[in-house]
């Protein structure tokens, strides 16, 4: 570890301490030293401060305290270096468990020892690719990959003597599994066979990586139906047998940078899944256009020959469909998050950088891969954003002791507490803010984002709101959460790391930790009746006589200008001219029904303003975003988030 201590931190008096045991003088009846009063009551585990002071200060015996470092401001940050990160993910190697593990180890040792040969044969290798292939910790890649291979696949592959067809027995990709990033194998059969030389191939294999298995499966299926010139999809279109199975899942963040590229590359080498035409070219134009692809396939195939002869790796030959060699093709940066917690605000903050993107008259914040968060057109124009501009993203999550709290500027403006599903109710805590440096005014500015089209559903037959899907994507990414048993529409977790600044009280510093992914069981949706009961408990009629839950209250409830009111609270709060189609069948309308809620009906002269200002009736309405309601979408920051000059500095590679 390397600590960023130094002259920037100043000692401000007092020492951090930790209470080792419960102590109360009224219980122990200890005799106090002369002149010492009053005693304190302390509990084990409390974090406290010790000062050399005289006067109205409490006293406890030193034996119940563990003394730490002197108090400093600002707190220094202890960083976790990439090399140490690799070590944290891999224990002492020891002997290989089987041929599979030994082959992976031998492969990466061989690549490192032949770095000069590789760069000579593939002279166009980028510096980014070299940093991955020849990293000082590259030898440790093997064990991280080995431990990430699914147990069933690891069992089949362990001896090194197997056919890819045996992996058909693995659980295939489905609409709900897996939800983590990973590497997959597609096995094709019944495609009319292929002949190379004297060998006839009855099976074909393709290795790939993905952040979202479900999206990738759909892409492969749709592209196979098109008249593609790709050898892969021409074969896929004819194949009578197709099976896509996960081989590797990224279930931990104790992995090297660009883990998916490294894992995909390793599997391509092990399965030798390069397209055979790469080894027997007959078109000078193709070689000229794709020289690096031919060179890479040749050099790594030859290195794999050496590895196999040493370890006994002997998979049966399969017709390969991989044209590109991973790492050389797409060695890219992960988009990392840095998080911390502010006790006073009961809020977790997660910061990263993303690019803005314009497509016709729509504006987006790129999230990862093809996913994006929409930016209101008014904000884009007022801020003067440019296509491709980089901004800082700050995700805010209000949370205390595991409880999700309501954020006043939340991304999705739905009733905060009672909703469709317990997991979706967490979105009341989520807010997204973007920050940028405005060159024309020489000031930092910021704005919260809000979901504008909140009633767009997944489809005509699926009334789940698109807003739920997008909000849950953001929440799962910063909290490193995946679900089991979840609906197909739930996004897979983004593979970007989340590093968290953990407060160390005794040592008076912030320590960088890598947050590990977690998997939760998806909880069932609430029924309409359950949410009716919850609303009745929250708004009992004897305490809230001006609010009715469920059926329309009928004549006499509303008076004055609202005497003939037919719109429920949710419809009224939107200030919409759209008719409320309340149905007596389920006492709900098309909007409330998507939330699994009955309609509610509230009366009172100040009713609408209470909705808009987010006071006691917020749970019964769609509250307007306070920033938009106040007419100040963009705010000038009084204090820059960090030194503006930092972006003008030249930084060394964080991967070395």
- pLDDT single digits (tens) 110-160: 999 999 988 888 877 888 889 899 998 898 999 999 999 999 999 999 999
Lowest mean pLDDT, pick from 133-147, 287-301, 384-398, 408-422: 287-301
So what's the pLDDT on residue 521?
96
What single string gives the DSSP state of each residue in 562-605? GTT----HHHHHTT--SPP--BTTTTB-HHHHHTT---EEE--T
Assess whether pLDDT exceeds 90 at residue 107.
yes
Q: Which of residues 121 and 332 earns the better pLDDT score?
A: 121
Lowest mean pLDDT, pick from 311-325, 503-517, 638-652: 638-652
Within a domain: residue 575? yes
So what's the pLDDT on residue 524?
96
Tell me which residue range forms the domain holding 7.
2-76
Write 211-214 long-range contacts (CB < 8 A, 24+): 211/181, 211/260, 211/368, 211/369, 211/492, 211/494, 211/495, 212/181, 212/369, 212/491, 212/492, 213/173, 213/177, 213/178, 213/179, 213/182, 213/184, 213/244, 213/246, 213/492, 214/173, 214/175, 214/488, 214/492
Within a domain: residue 32? yes
Alpha helices in 312-398 (DSSP H): 377-383
The pLDDT tens digits of the residues spanning 392-411 come to: 899 999 999 999 999 989 99
Q: Does residue 312 share a domain with residue 352?
A: no
On the CB side of 182, CA atoms within 13 Å amount to 25
Mean pLDDT of the chain, nearest integer: 85
Last residue of some domain: 43, 76, 109? 76
The pLDDT tens digits of the residues spanning 484-496 come to: 999 999 998 887 7
Lowest mean pLDDT, pick from 265-269, 301-305, 367-371: 367-371
The pLDDT tens digits of the residues spanning 586-595 come to: 999 999 999 9
Q: Which of residues 644 and 568 earns the better pLDDT score?
A: 568
Question: Can you tell me the distance from the alpha carbon of 98 to that of 147, in angstroms, rounded to the nearest whole number?
Answer: 13
Whether the bond into 175 is cis, omega within 30 of 0: no
Q: Does residue 102 share a domain with residue 50?
A: no
Q: Does residue 341 share a domain with residue 315?
A: no
| Secondary structure (3-state) at 348 | strand
Q: Does residue 242 share a domain with residue 128?
A: yes
- What the block records as the tokens of 481 is 């959460």
Q: Which of residues 560 and 44 earns the better pLDDT score?
A: 44
DSSP state of 171: P
Within a domain: residue 448? yes
Within a domain: residue 488? yes
So what's the pLDDT on residue 119?
87
Reported as a pLDDT band with limits 50, 70 and 90, residue 1 is very low
Assess whether pLDDT exceeds 80 at residue 387.
yes
**Which residues share a beta bridge with 359?**
362
Reported as a pLDDT band with limits 50, 70 and 90, residue 171 is very high
Place of tokens 């920051």: 637
Assess whether pLDDT exceeds 50 at residue 87.
no
Q: Does residue 569 share a domain with residue 549?
A: yes
Last residue of some domain: 252, 285, 320? 320
The total number of structural domains in the chain stands at 4
CA distances from 404 to 127, 262, 434, 468, 515 (A): 44, 37, 22, 16, 19
The pLDDT tens digits of the residues spanning 427-485 come to: 999 999 999 988 888 899 999 998 878 899 999 899 999 999 999 999 999 999 999 99
Assess whether pLDDT exceeds 70 at residue 651.
no
Within a domain: residue 373? yes
Reported as a pLDDT band with limits 50, 70 and 90, residue 614 is very low
Last residue of some domain: 503, 525, 547? 525
| Secondary structure (3-state) at 291 | helix
So what's the pLDDT on residue 27?
87
Assess whether pLDDT exceeds 80 at residue 343.
yes
| Exposure letters 503-518 (e unless 16+ CB within 10 A, then b) | eeeeebbbbbbbbebe
Question: Can you tell me the distance from the alpha carbon of 66 to that of 44, in angstroms, rounded to the nearest whole number?
Answer: 11
CB 260 within 8 A of CB 495: yes
Q: Does residue 293 share a domain with residue 178?
A: yes
So what's the pLDDT on residue 261?
93
Mean pLDDT of 81-87: 46
Question: Can you tell me the distance from the alpha carbon of 456 to that of 465, in angstroms, rounded to the nearest whole number?
Answer: 6
Within a domain: residue 6? yes
Radius of gyration of the chain (CA): 30
Q: Does residue 143 share a domain with residue 290?
A: yes
Assess whether pLDDT exceeds 60 at residue 82.
no
Q: Does residue 532 share a domain with residue 520?
A: no
Q: Does residue 580 share a domain with residue 442?
A: no
| Exposure letters 273-300 (e unless 16+ CB within 10 A, then b) | bbbbbbeeeeeeeeeeebebbbbbbbbb
CATH number at residue 7: 2.30.30
CB 490 within 8 A of CB 522: yes
Q: Which of residues 247 and 329 earns the better pLDDT score?
A: 247
DSSP state of 438: E
Reported as a pLDDT band with limits 50, 70 and 90, residue 291 is low
Q: Does residue 556 share a domain with residue 439?
A: no
**Which residues share a beta bridge with 394?**
351, 433
Assess whether pLDDT exceeds 90 at residue 162.
yes
The pLDDT tens digits of the residues spanning 246-267 come to: 999 998 878 888 899 999 999 9
DSSP state of 253: S
Highest mean pLDDT among 483-487, 623-627, 629-633: 483-487
Spatial CB neighbours of 595, under 8 Å, sequence gap ≥ 6: 414, 415, 418, 419, 420, 531
Within a domain: residue 232? yes
Assess whether pLDDT exceeds 90 at residue 540.
yes
DSSP state of 122: S
Q: Does residue 231 share a domain with residue 207?
A: yes
So what's the pLDDT on residue 576?
67
Reported as a pLDDT band with limits 50, 70 and 90, residue 605 is low
Q: Does residue 543 share a domain with residue 469?
A: no
3-state helix, strand, coil in the chain (%, to 5): 30, 25, 45
Mean pLDDT of 578-607: 89
pTM strictly above 0.75: no
Size of the chain, expressed as the number of residues it contains: 656
| Secondary structure (3-state) at 353 | strand
Lowest mean pLDDT, pick from 10-19, 146-155, 162-171, 418-427: 10-19
Closest to 296 (Cα-Cα) out of 330, 263, 319: 330
Within a domain: residue 187? yes
């Amino acid at each position: 570890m390397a600590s960023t201590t130094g002259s920037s931190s100043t000692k401000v008096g007092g020492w951090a301490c930790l209470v080792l045991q419960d102590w109360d003088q009224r219980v122990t009846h200890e005799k106090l030293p002369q002149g010492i009063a009053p005693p304190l009551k302390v509990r084990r585990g409390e974090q406290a401060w010790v000062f050399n002071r005289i006067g109205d200060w409490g006293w406890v015996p030193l034996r119940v305290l563990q003394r730490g470092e002197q108090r400093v401001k600002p707190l220094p940050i202890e960083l976790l270096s990439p090399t140490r990160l690799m070590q944290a993910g891999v224990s002492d190697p020891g002997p290989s468990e089987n041929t599979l593990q030994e082959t992976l180890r031998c492969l990466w040792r061989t690549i490192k020892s032949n770095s000069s040969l590789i760069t000579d044969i593939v002279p166009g290798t980028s510096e980014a690719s070299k940093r991955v292939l020849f990293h000082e910790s590259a030898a440790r890649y093997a064990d991280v990959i080995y431990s990430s291979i699914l147990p069933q696949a690891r069992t089949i592959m362990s001896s090194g003597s197997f056919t890819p067809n045996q992996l058909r027995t693995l659980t295939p990709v489905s609409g709900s599994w897996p939800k983590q990033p990973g590497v997959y194998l597609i096995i094709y059969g019944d495609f009319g066979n292929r002949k190379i030389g004297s060998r006839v191939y009855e099976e074909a294999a393709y290795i790939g990586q993905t952040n979202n298995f479900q999206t990738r499966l759909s892409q492969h299926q749709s592209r196979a139906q098109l008249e593609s010139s790709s050898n892969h999809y021409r074969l896929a279109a004819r194949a009578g047998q197709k099976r896509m199975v996960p081989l590797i899942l990224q279930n931990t963040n104790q992995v090297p940078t660009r883990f998916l590229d490294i894992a995909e590359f390793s599997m391509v080498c092990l399965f030798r899944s390069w397209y055979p035409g790469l080894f027997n070219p007959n078109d000078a134009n193709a070689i000229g256009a794709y020289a690096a692809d031919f060179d890479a396939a040749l050099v790594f195939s030859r290195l794999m020959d050496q590895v196999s002869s040493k370890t006994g790796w002997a998979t049966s030959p399969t017709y390969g469909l991989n044209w590109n060699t991973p790492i050389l093709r797409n060695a890219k940066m992960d988009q990392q998050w840095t998080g911390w917690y502010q006790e006073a605000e009961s809020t977790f903050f997660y910061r990263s950088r993303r690019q803005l993107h314009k497509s016709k008259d729509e504006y987006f914040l790129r999230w990862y891969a093809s996913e994006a968060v929409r930016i209101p057109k008014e904000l884009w124009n007022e801020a003067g954003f440019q296509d491709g501009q980089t901004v800082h993203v700050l995700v805010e999550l209000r949370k205390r002791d595991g409880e999700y709290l309501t954020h006043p500027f939340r991304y999705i403006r739905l009733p905060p507490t009672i909703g469709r599903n317990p997991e979706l109710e967490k979105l009341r805590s989520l807010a997204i803010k973007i920050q940028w440096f405005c060159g024309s005014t020489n000031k930092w500015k910021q704005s919260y984002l809000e979901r504008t089209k909140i009633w767009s559903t997944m489809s005509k037959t699926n009334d789940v709101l698109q807003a739920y899907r997008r909000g849950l994507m953001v929440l799962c990414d910063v909290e490193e959460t995946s679900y089991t048993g979840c609906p197909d529409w739930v996004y897979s977790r983004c593979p970007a790391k989340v590093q968290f600044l953990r407060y160390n009280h005794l040592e008076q510093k912030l320590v960088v930790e890598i947050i590990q992914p977690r998997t939760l069981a998806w909880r069932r949706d609430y029924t309409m009746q359950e949410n009716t009961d919850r609303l009745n408990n929250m708004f009992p009629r004897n305490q809230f006589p001006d609010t009715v839950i469920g059926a329309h209250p009928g004549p006499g409830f509303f008076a004055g200008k609202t005497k003939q009111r037919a719109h429920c609270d949710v419809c009224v709060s939107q200030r919409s001219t759209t008719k409320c189609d309340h149905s007596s069948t389920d006492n709900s309308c098309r909007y409330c029904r998507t939330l699994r809620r009955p309609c509610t009906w509230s009366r009172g002269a100040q009713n609408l303003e209470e909705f808009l200002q987010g006071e006691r009736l917020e749970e019964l309405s769609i509250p307007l975003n306070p920033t938009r309601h106040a007419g100040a979408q963009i705010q000038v920051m009084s204090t820059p988030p960090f030194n503006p000059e930092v972006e003008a500095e030249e930084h060394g590679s964080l991967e070395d």
